[in-house]
């Protein structure tokens, strides 16, 4: 678990950064059951295939997988049940307006704990084409080679 500025990052959706241009990010609270919080703290969560849906002034994250907590004595909820996102009205309106624009979508980026509360980082994003992905990989490889060359050239 990574700690940065009081945040405990549990899961990062790296594939989202590869598949989308991130235009703007938002922080939302997650409405969870007690056993789900414990499961998320143990990093038993996945955002593969998860997406955000806004309807009737409420945002929900769908297809987010939270493994059932093994020590739960109560009934186990569905691991991929829709979970409500806690946002204020201004943020909801902004997200809804952005998602209505053709080619833009709402993508979950990471789940973390902030002062003990489960949060999710959402992005208003635009999909990348295959040529954009190839260009990003080329830049990444070039940067890696430059770093390696720089590291090898400094010898005392």
| pLDDT score for 90 | 93
Tell which residue, 120, 122, 116, has the closest CA to residue 6: 116
Task: Kindly report, residue by residue over 54-79, the tens digit of the pLDDT.
Answer: 988 899 999 999 998 888 777 777 88
| pLDDT score for 43 | 92
| pLDDT score for 75 | 74
Task: Kindly report, residue by residue over 111-121, the tens digit of the pLDDT.
Answer: 999 998 999 99
Give 133's DSSP letter. H
CA distance 35 to 17: 29
Tell which residue, 8, 16, 20, has the closest CA to residue 48: 16
| pLDDT score for 155 | 60
**Range list of H helices, the chain:** 14-19, 34-41, 89-100, 130-153
Look up the CATH architecture of domain 2-129.
Beta Barrel (2.40)
Regions of the chain where pLDDT drops below 50: none
| pLDDT score for 151 | 74
| pLDDT score for 106 | 92
Interacting residues of 155 by C-beta distance below 8 A, sequence separation 6+: none
Q: Is 2 exposed, middle or buried (0-12, 13-18, 19+ CB in 10 A)?
A: exposed
């Amino acid at each position: 678990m990574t700690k940065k500025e009081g945040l405990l990052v549990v899961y990062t959706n790296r594939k989202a950064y590869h598949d989308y241009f991130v235009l703007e990010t938002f922080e939302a609270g997650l409405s969870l059951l007690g056993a789900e919080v414990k499961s998320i703290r143990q990093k038993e969560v996945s955002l593969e295939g998860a997406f955000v849906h806004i309807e009737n002034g409420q945002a929900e994250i769908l297809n987010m997988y939270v493994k059932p907590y093994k020590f739960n004595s109560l009934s186990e909820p569905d691991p991929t049940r829709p979970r409500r996102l806690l946002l204020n009205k201004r943020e909801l309106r902004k997200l809804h307006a952005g998602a209505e624009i053709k080619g833009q979508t709402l993508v979950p980026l990471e789940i973390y704990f902030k002062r003990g509360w489960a949060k999710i980082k959402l992005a208003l994003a635009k999909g990348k084409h295959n040529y954009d992905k190839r260009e990003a990989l080329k830049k990444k490889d070039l940067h890696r080679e430059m770093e390696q060359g720089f590291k090898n050239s400094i010898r005392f």
